[in-house]
Amino acid sequence: MERKFAWTTYTDEDLAKLERIAKDYEKFLDNGKTERECVNQAVAMAEAKGYKPLCAAIEKGEALKPGDCVYVNWMGKAIMMFKMGKQPLEKGLNIVGAHIDSPRMDLKQNPLYEDTGIAYLDTHYYGGIKKYQWVTLPLALHGVVAKKDGELVNVVIGEDPSDPVVGISDLLIHLAADQMGKKASVVIEGEELNVIIGSKPVNDEEAKEPVKEAMLAILKEKYGIEEEDFLSAEIEVVPAGPARDFGLDRSMILGYGHDDRVCAYAQIDSILSIDEVPEKTVCCILADKEEIGSVGATGMTGKYFENAVAELINLEGNYSDLKLRRALAASRMLSCDVSAGYDPNFAGVFERKNSAYIGKGVCFNKYTGSRGKGGSNDANAEYLGSLRKLMEDANVNYQTAELGKVDQGGGGTIAYICAVYGMEVIDSGVAVLSMHAPWEIISKADLYEAVKAYRAFMLNA
Ligand code: MN
Ligand code: MN
């Protein structure tokens, strides 16, 4: 079924709201290039709307009542927000969940070295990237250094226009006869993702590694960091510079990390726009580690979400394990993640009837997976039926899609992880061009429709 352009349905009021959201989202991207930075922003936005840390309520043993707003900052890398509904938790929550980690390069634990007068930081890439896309770009360093005394030093280098940037060199075309004959997967190899950070030596003839020493002096002076401190650091190498309006008509946004910060931002904007007391408790989850399989204590397979719901039931009064199980099984969820936008340049990998199109609204993926839906959460038809009505009642422009042609590849999200509890879950998100590239593209209209869809879902599912 052909879907119409969302753009053609907009009033002037819609367009003004759309531009407001797009501008705020661009700022969110600029200040959120790591999962930690996204959590920091989400906490500030939630607190500005009166959300309180759940741990404070737990400590005081305060009962939670309808309309109360709490959040859980989980290890600084994932966050959950809850707005308590009129109905008891046992009746289920309306949940939207996205991830805030994005593909990038992480510094190794012993990253710093000097080779023939150039100082480098060695990296290990994170998530699925085409390595050749990450060379000859201005790159920035974002992250934290955890010192032995417990101090956490924040690092952001390469974003302020007065900052220097760093980057990775590529071989000149004149000498690339062999390289140009290689398969794209090995044109640039993982161990070649070495970031150049300096070339000026200390003025000391005795120095064995004068450029590295000069780098260490700068790190010491600017950040108070010793070489050993890299052992307990998490520094991510990401594209430097701000998100930009894209296209002569400014209809799109070029940015780093639309996957999945566009859905994360749409969720935050929609939950924080709920001023009324919702019928059911609403929940926004922003998870880490999706790009490497949702593993670890901050990935969606960690138990923090289940534990948070248990704490809420406890503060509601009369906790029982059965109530927790009922609450989870009765919940409904949108697993909010980006979808592959149809790209006419690469039409061969898409199936036109079942692709997501830029500008045609929020996208529902009944299933993802690969090789015969392997690893997919396949949403129930009944659930999709109810969502169609919900979206149409709220005037949301939506489309349905799957990830490319059958057997062309595939992917996964956090949907299957929450479906384990027996709740209804479906993937829903925004179509992206150049997904997982340093700079990805989305349509402002799709962002706007995602905000509308997530709000309507939380209030009415
Ligand atoms: Mn994603
Ligand atoms: Mn991804």
Say yes or no: 162 and 261 in one domain.
no
394: left (phi over 0), alpha (psi -120 to 50) or beta: alpha
Ligand 2: centre distance to CA 117 (Å): 37
Ligand 2: centre distance to CA 286 (Å): 14
Q: Per the domain annotation, does 369 fall within a domain?
A: yes
Q: In angstroms, rounded to a whole number, what is the distance separating the alpha carbons of residues 337 and 409?
A: 17
Q: In angstroms, rounded to a whole number, what is the distance separating the alpha carbons of residues 265 and 270?
A: 8
The reported pLDDT for the residue numbered 13 is 98
Ligand 2: centre distance to CA 107 (Å): 20
Q: Per the domain annotation, does 430 fall within a domain?
A: yes
Ligand 1: centre distance to CA 66 (Å): 32
Q: How many CA atoms lie within 13 A of 49 on its CB side?
A: 23
Say yes or no: 41 and 164 in one domain.
no
Ligand 2: centre distance to CA 345 (Å): 21
Number of domains comprising the chain:
2
Say yes or no: 82 and 140 in one domain.
no
Ligand 1: centre distance to CA 217 (Å): 39
Buried b / exposed e over 9-38, threshold 16 CB at 10 Å, is ebeeebeeebeebbeebbebbeebbbbbbb
Residue 372: which domain range? 6-102+256-460
Q: Per the domain annotation, does 178 fall within a domain?
A: yes
DSSP string, 172-223: -GGG-HHHHTS-HHHHS-GGG-EEEEE-PPPS-TT-SSHHHHHHHHHHHHHH
Ligand 2: centre distance to CA 181 (Å): 29
The predicted model scores a pTM of 0.97
Say yes or no: 95 and 112 in one domain.
no
Q: In angstroms, rounded to a whole number, what is the distance separating the alpha carbons of residues 288 and 102?
A: 9
Q: Give the residue ranges of the chain where pLDDT is below 70.
A: 1
Q: Per the domain annotation, does 344 fall within a domain?
A: yes
Quick one: which of 5, 1, 9 has its CA closest to 395? 9
Say yes or no: 326 and 403 in one domain.
yes
What amino acid is encoded at 386 in this protein? S
Say yes or no: 191 and 143 in one domain.
yes
Q: Name the H helices within 282-414.
A: 304-316, 321-329, 381-393
Q: In angstroms, rounded to a whole number, what is the distance separating the alpha carbons of residues 269 and 284?
A: 10
Ligand 1: centre distance to CA 457 (Å): 20
Say yes or no: 111 and 90 in one domain.
no
The DSSP 8-state label assigned to residue 63 in this structure reads: P
Say yes or no: 334 and 427 in one domain.
yes
Ligand 2: centre distance to CA 160 (Å): 27
What amino acid is encoded at 275 in this protein? D
pLDDT tens profile 38-86: 999 999 999 999 999 999 999 999 899 999 999 999 999 999 999 999 9
The reported pLDDT for the residue numbered 350 is 95
Ligand 2: centre distance to CA 276 (Å): 34
Say yes or no: 192 and 317 in one domain.
no
